[in-house]
Amino acid sequence: MAAVSLSVSTVKPLGERVFVKVSASEEKTSGGILLPDTAKEKPQVGEVIAVGPGKRNDDGSRSELEVSVGDKVLYSKYAGTDIKLGTEEFVLLAEKDILAIVN
């Protein structure tokens, strides 16, 4: 089996999928207590790195996605597929799993 080398620039989502870079998780609580890795929650905010071409309609045309590259988004807690490239974490989501665009 051949090894595949992935980088952010080689990942292109298909259909209505979105590739998101996960924001760093909180290191401390609001009271200043340091959290160990096992107690940290999975972040639900990230930046859109790449988007697919959109969902194909019945007539063959494509619906444009509501998010675009560079948007900061809030997504469902257990949604998507987690991907680790080097030291950075990403998640591949369906557009329906994105809850909001964060300003």
List Cβ neighbours of 89 (8 Å cut-off, separation of 6 or more).
21, 22, 82, 83
| Rounded distance between C-alpha atoms, residue 2 and residue 70, angstroms | 33
pLDDT tens readout for residues 40-99 = 566 789 999 999 999 888 998 989 999 999 999 999 988 899 988 888 889 999 999 999
Could you tell me the pLDDT band of residue 27, with boundaries at 50, 70 and 90? low
Q: Is the pTM of this model over 0.95?
A: no
Q: How far is CA 52 from CA 3, 6, 30, in A?
A: 25, 17, 37
Question: CB of 94 within 8 A of CB of 79?
Answer: yes
